[in-house]
Structure 1
Amino acid sequence: MEIIIALISAGSAIAVCMINNAYQAKKVQAQHDETIALIKYQIAELSDRVDKHNNLIERTYKLEQKAAVYEEKISVANHRIDDLENKEG
């Protein structure tokens, strides 16, 4: 009789442990899913920011190229003015 009671108690304890483990596994999986969703969102936001930054760098580079061309044009114009002033003077 005592053996039967011990087996029933052990079976009940095992059943409770299995139910608890299943609940904990579901809870952990839900937390993992939430964390994964947050990481995906953060990566998407970071990708957008990187794209905007890269676009800004490209535009800045183009502006610097144009500025260099204008500086060269101004330098050439100044040399022409100097040459004309030297011819007249």
Structure 2
Amino acid sequence: MNLSNEIVVAVIGLVGSTFGAFIGVVASANLTAYRIEQLEKKVEKHNGVIERTFKLEGRMQEAEHDIIELKGAKK
């Protein structure tokens, strides 16, 4: 089987391009997975802050209610 130089070069180029594209897709997928993981951590942290803020607002309302009751009792 005698292949011409042009065909050999074309096949080598095709294999190289395919391999390069595959490596690019894998690297991109890994980077996307890493970024999603980091965003999930940030969202988790943010949700913790929201939950703590909600609890503090409830405690603040209780404290304000107690202050109003104390002011009313002194009169």
For normalisation by structure 2, the TM-score amounts to 0.90
Structure with the higher helix share, 1 or 2: 1
Which of 7, 30, 34 is the equivalent residue of 1:41? 34
Which runs of no fewer than 5 residues in structure 1 stay unpaired? 1-7, 83-89
Q: Structure 2: which amino acid aligns with 1:81?
A: K
CA distance in 2, matches of 1:40, 1:75: 52
The structural deviation recorded for 1:62 is 0.3
For normalisation by structure 1, the TM-score amounts to 0.77
Report how many residues are paired: 74
Taking only the aligned residue pairs, the percentage that are identical comes to 27
- Taking only aligned residues, the RMSD between alpha carbons, in angstroms, comes to 1.3
Larger-gyration structure (1/2)? 1
* Post-superposition CA distance 1:7-55 (Å, at most 9, x none): x67x331222111111111011111111111110000000000010011
2:54 counterpart of 1:61: yes
Which runs of no fewer than 5 residues in structure 2 stay unpaired? none
- Runs of 4+ in structure 1 deviating by more than 2 angstroms, as ranges, are none
